[in-house]
């Protein structure tokens, strides 16, 4: 399996991701977009990226959800069905947690500063639930959100939490 990290501030424009993944597919191994994230707010942690090449979506909750949908679409479009999933880095980080209060990743998580779920979390969950049998998996883990697309031994549904606290305390 190939794990490919993709962040617009390192790997360039979202419009280039599909060609990068297609090139990787020539190896013939399953591919997971192993790390990605996108800002949901244009604050001091993210303002230096605003308007930079590759940041094709606004730094808003809706813009983050559109970015998540684009990542999912690019992984699903990998030739020969080799796309297997999207892993959102730091999906549970929020500025209301002492460890992440001054961490820029808090503003790229899937929860707002008060711990409320952002639309991108639902986008990831809907994608996992729309994959036809033999199954799909939406796994919310302590350090990331991973949505696997494609064949899994069994279908496992994970409720999408309304707040970070619901996720963190139900694991």
Q: Could you read off the pLDDT of 84-123 as tens digits, one per residue?
A: 889 999 888 887 777 777 778 888 999 988 889 999 999 9
Report residue 165's pLDDT band, with 50, 70 and 90 as the boundaries: low
Percent of the chain scoring above 70 in pLDDT:
74
Q: Are 84 and 1 in contact (CB under 8 A)?
A: yes
Q: Which residues pair with 121 in a beta bridge?
A: none
Whose structure tokens read 């939406």? Answer: 138
Question: What distance in Å separates the CA atoms of residue 8 and residue 54, rounded to the nearest whole number?
Answer: 5
Angle at CA of residue 157, ends 161 and 151, nearest 5°? 135
Instruction: Specify burial of residue 28 (Cβ count, 10 A radius: 0-12, 13-18, 19+).
Output: exposed
| Among 101, 95, 105, 116, residue whose Cα is nearest residue 144 | 105
Average confidence (pLDDT) over 5-28: 90
Q: Higher-confidence residue: 84 or 131?
A: 84
pTM above 0.85, yes or no: no
Q: Which domain holds residue 127?
A: 2-170
Report residue 29's pLDDT band, with 50, 70 and 90 as the boundaries: very high
What is the total count of domains within the chain? 1
């Amino acid at each position: 399996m190939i794990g490919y990290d993709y962040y617009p501030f390192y790997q360039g424009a979202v419009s280039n991701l599909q060609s990068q993944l297609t090139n990787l597919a020539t190896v013939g191994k399953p591919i997971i977009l192993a790390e990605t994230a996108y800002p949901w707010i244009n604050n001091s942690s993210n303002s230096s990226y605003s308007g930079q090449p590759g940041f094709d979506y606004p730094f808003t909750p809706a813009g983050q959800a559109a970015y998540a949908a684009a990542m999912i679409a690019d992984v699903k479009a990998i030739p020969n069905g080799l796309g297997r999933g999207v892993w959102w880095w730091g999906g549970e980080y929020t500025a209301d947690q002492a460890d992440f209060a001054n961490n820029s990743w808090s503003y790229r998580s899937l929860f707002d500063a008060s711990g409320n779920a952002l639309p991108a979390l639902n986008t990831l969950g809907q994608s996992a639930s729309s994959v036809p049998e033999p199954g799909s998996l939406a796994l919310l883990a302590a350090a990331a959100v991973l949505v696997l697309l494609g064949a899994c031994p069994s279908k496992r549904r994970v409720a999408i939490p309304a707040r970070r606290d619901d996720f963190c305390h139900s694991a």
